[in-house]
């Protein structure tokens, strides 16, 4: 019986080694490295996205006297619902929900559709410059959003699509400008063009 077990385990080890050699032969080292890099990148991005959520959930049930306690980081010493009652008393819940729908839910739905279309085009069609386009998508993930804040603010503060308003102003002699700051269009417009919040990450995942 022991002899059969030893023979069976040795056969399993030999089969696993053969499968590993076959995997290395079939999959090029570059492909294996890309798969490893992709998984590491996804794990890091998931941590970046989930960390604020865990932090807010932890603070939501934390009593006020524990906010400045250095010994309390993730798990509060005691739980409380006082923060929720204070928020309900100070905040107009109906307006907040409506603003959340316009600013967050609608752009998220639009961004899901547009990012899926972009990812489908990058994975389905083989065209010249596809690698460059995908590299630019990855670049939108890597570059911090803060580096584009000033330019985006100016674009939305003096919104002028394709310079049409400047042309009309020059012809008519009147100053025509559109201010999108403080409107839901600030989040909806980027989502329409697959450039919303974390759009590069969604394109990378869908692809």
Last residue of a domain, one of 25, 57, 90: 90
Which whole-number Å values give the CA distances from 54 to 28, 40, 70, 200, in the listed order?
Answer: 39, 21, 18, 23
Q: Between these two residues, 147 and 32, which has the higher pLDDT value? A: 147
**Widest Cα–Cα separation across the chain:** 98
The number of beta carbons lying within 10 Å of the beta carbon of residue 204 is: 21
* pLDDT (tens digit per residue) in 152-186: 888 888 888 888 888 888 888 788 888 888 888 99
Task: Determine the structural domain holding residue 17 and report its residue range.
Answer: 1-90
Which residue, chain included where needed, has tokens 């798969």?
A: 35
* pLDDT (tens digit per residue) in 107-151: 999 999 999 999 999 888 888 888 898 888 888 888 887 888 888
In a shared domain, residues 117 and 45: no
Percent pLDDT > 90 in the chain is: 9
Scored b (16 or more CB within 10 A) or e, 108-146 reads: eebbbebbeebbeebeeeeeeeeeeebeebeebbeeeee
How many independent structural domains does the chain possess? 2
In a shared domain, residues 102 and 160: yes
Residue 137's CATH number? 1.10.3720.10
In a shared domain, residues 100 and 77: no
Last residue of a domain, one of 90, 118, 137: 90
In a shared domain, residues 8 and 68: yes
Percent pLDDT > 70 in the chain is: 86
What pTM was estimated for this model as a whole? Answer: 0.59
**Average pLDDT, whole number, for the chain?**
81
Half-sphere exposure of 28 (CA within 13 A, CB side): 3
How much is the pLDDT for 172? 82
């Amino acid at each position: 019986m022991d002899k059969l077990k030893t023979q069976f385990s040795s056969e399993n080890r030999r089969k696993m080694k053969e499968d590993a050699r076959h995997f290395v032969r079939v999959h090029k080292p570059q492909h294996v490295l890309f798969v490893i890099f992709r998984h590491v990148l996804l794990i890091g991005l998931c941590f970046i996205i989930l960390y604020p959520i865990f932090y807010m959930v932890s603070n939501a049930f934390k009593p006020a006297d524990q906010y400045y306690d250095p010994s309390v980081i993730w798990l509060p010493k005691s739980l409380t619902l006082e923060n929720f009652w204070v928020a309900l008393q100070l905040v107009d819940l109906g307006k907040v929900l409506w603003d959340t729908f316009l600013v967050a839910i609608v752009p998220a739905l639009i961004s899901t559709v547009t990012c899926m279309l972009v990812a489908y085009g990058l994975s389905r069609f083989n065209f010249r410059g596809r690698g460059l386009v995908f590299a630019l998508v990855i670049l939108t993930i890597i570059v911090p959003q803060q580096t584009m804040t000033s330019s985006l603010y100016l674009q939305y503060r003096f919104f002028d699509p394709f310079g049409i308003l400047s042309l009309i102003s020059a012809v008519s002699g009147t100053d025509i400008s559109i201010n999108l700051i403080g409107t839901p269009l600030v989040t909806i417009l980027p989502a329409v063009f697959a450039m919303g919040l974390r759009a590069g990450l969604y394109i990378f995942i869908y692809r």
